[in-house]
């Protein structure tokens, strides 16, 4: 089958598209319409109409800023990819290969899908197809990339600050706890049951919207109110931020964890953000994903951490996704897509804020935001040990420290 729609991509985008600008919003509407028409032309194998649509699309796409082109590149590489499929089905091998190369150049890097797509069977034995696919594997075969990532280094002694977790006595957290009656929502069971009850509550309270930026004020009280007022959702980072503060308000240690791909070509505009939540009774971190109402278990039904899931993916060990994992109560998640494809891509680099607290990412003048990244040893950019980025507009500074030592990264204070 072809890359028939953009839904898997759009589910997880980390909201880099700015829709406050009228021109950008109009382009999105135009792109969605064109995408539907592209699909119709593909289904009818009508390359003449397809090219007419492509010309119209490019005339608008080329007017976008560089940033917006990157944000909307999925529409372009999807259009090229489906045109390649159309030509392949018509047994026009030269044009099929031409547009396959164009789709990859525009950012389509899903090696696994290309390998399985029967639409491309007519060109699969061509030498040029092999020449295209061999280098792509190191960019777009996400499971392969993760499995061949070098091990971590437990001997890495670079100094890192200790992770901190704001006390539930903080007035803002106390107000959050009271405003939403979180004790009642969490229930009176074990801490694991409380963790899961809050996960399900946030998942059902706020829809995931990966195509819009989060509100300017990034704390649970404000974002929940804005979502209710404007009938809107949050991207994965926003959902994890809200859930993180709910856990902190109940005295449960929690971090937001940005899960990132290797992306050596800087063309993957996607990552995913989930929570790592510490269970005192189990004495371990737990994988908690509010976007997908998801947690992960081993074959014994024991809940797993992000670290354990990553290692089990690499080692081909059993993983069980909770049966009610889903996106927006509309689409069930499967282990094969969610863990072995999407998260396999995004478990290459992990990043956490040093200080887990209320309102931790709202931009405020003079504020410094500190993060720690856990890198495998084969990552191409190991240095500098510390990087700093200043935002003159907001008068803020972001610092990022790097480590190869998972023991330090997953420390519990």
Mean pLDDT of 353-357: 98
User: Which band of pLDDT confidence, cut at 50, 70 and 90, is reported for residue 67?
Assistant: confident
CATH of 7-140, one of 3.90.320, 1.10.3470, 1.25.40, 3.40.1580: 1.25.40
Over residues 382-404, the pLDDT tens digits come to: 999 999 999 999 999 999 999 99
pLDDT at site 22: 55
pLDDT at site 25: 80
Mean pLDDT of 70-81: 93
pLDDT at site 6: 40
Average pLDDT score, the chain: 93
Over residues 359-369, the pLDDT tens digits come to: 999 999 999 99
- Whether residue 31 is predicted with pLDDT greater than 50 in this model: the reply is yes
- Whether residue 88 is predicted with pLDDT greater than 50 in this model: the reply is yes
- Whether residue 5 is predicted with pLDDT greater than 50 in this model: the reply is no
Q: Tokens standing for 14?
A: 């980390």
CATH (residue range 164-350+405-409): 3.10.620
Mean pLDDT of 335-363: 97
Between the alpha carbon of residue 257 and those of residues 67, 146, 275, 291, 306, the distances in Å are 25, 18, 6, 13, 9
Spell out a b/e string for 349-369, using b for 16 or more CB atoms within 10 Å of the CB, else e: bbbbbbbbbbbbbbeeeeeeb
The domain locations on the chain are: 7-140, 164-350+405-409
Output the furthest CA–CA distance in the chain (Å, rounded).
68
């Amino acid at each position: 089958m072809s890359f028939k729609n953009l839904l898997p991509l759009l589910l997880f985008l980390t909201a880099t598209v700015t829709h406050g600008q009228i021109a950008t919003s109009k382009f999105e509407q135009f792109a969605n319409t064109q995408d539907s028409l592209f699909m119709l032309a593909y289904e009818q194998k009508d390359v003449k109409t397809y090219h007419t649509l492509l010309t119209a699309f490019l005339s608008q796409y080329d007017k976008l800023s560089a940033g917006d082109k990157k944000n909307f590149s999925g529409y372009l590489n999807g259009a090229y990819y489906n045109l390649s499929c159309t030509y392949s089905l018509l047994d026009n091998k030269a044009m099929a290969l031409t547009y396959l190369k164009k789709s990859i150049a525009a950012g389509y890097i899903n090696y696994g899908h290309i390998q399985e797509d029967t639409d491309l069977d007519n060109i699969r034995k061509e030498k040029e197809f092999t020449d295209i696919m061999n280098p792509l594997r190191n960019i777009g075969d996400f499971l392969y990339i993760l499995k061949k990532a070098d091990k971590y280094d437990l001997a890495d002694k670079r100094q890192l600050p200790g992770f901190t977790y704001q006390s539930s006595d903080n007035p803002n957290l106390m107000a959050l706890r009271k405003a939403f009656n979180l004790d009642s929502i969490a229930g009176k069971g074990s801490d694991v049951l409380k963790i899961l009850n809050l996960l399900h509550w946030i998942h059902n309270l706020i829809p995931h919207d990966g195509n819009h930026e989060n509100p300017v004020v990034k704390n649970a009280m404000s974002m929940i109110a804005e979502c209710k007022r404007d009938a809107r959702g949050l991207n994965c980072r926003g959902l994890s931020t809200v859930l993180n503060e709910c856990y902190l308000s109940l005295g449960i240690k929690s971090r937001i964890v940005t899960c990132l791909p290797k992306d050596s070509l800087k063309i993957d505009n996607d990552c995913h953000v989930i929570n790592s939540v510490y269970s005192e009774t189990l004495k371990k971190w737990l994988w908690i994903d509010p976007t997908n109402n998801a947690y992960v278990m081993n074959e014994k039904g024991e809940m797993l951490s992000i670290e354990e899931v990553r290692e089990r993916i690499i080692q081909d060990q059993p993983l069980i996704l909770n049966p009610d994992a889903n996106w927006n109560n509309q689409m069930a998640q499967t282990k094969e897509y969610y863990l072995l494809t999407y998260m396999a891509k995004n478990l290459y680099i992990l990043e956490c804020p040093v200080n887990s607290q209320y309102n931790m990412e709202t931009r405020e003048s003079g504020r410094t935001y500190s993060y720690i990244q856990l890198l495998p040893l084969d990552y191409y950019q190991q240095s500098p040990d510390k990087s700093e980025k200043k935002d003159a507009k907001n008068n803020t500074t972001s610092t990022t420290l790097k480590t190869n030592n998972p023991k330090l990264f997953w420390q519990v204070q």
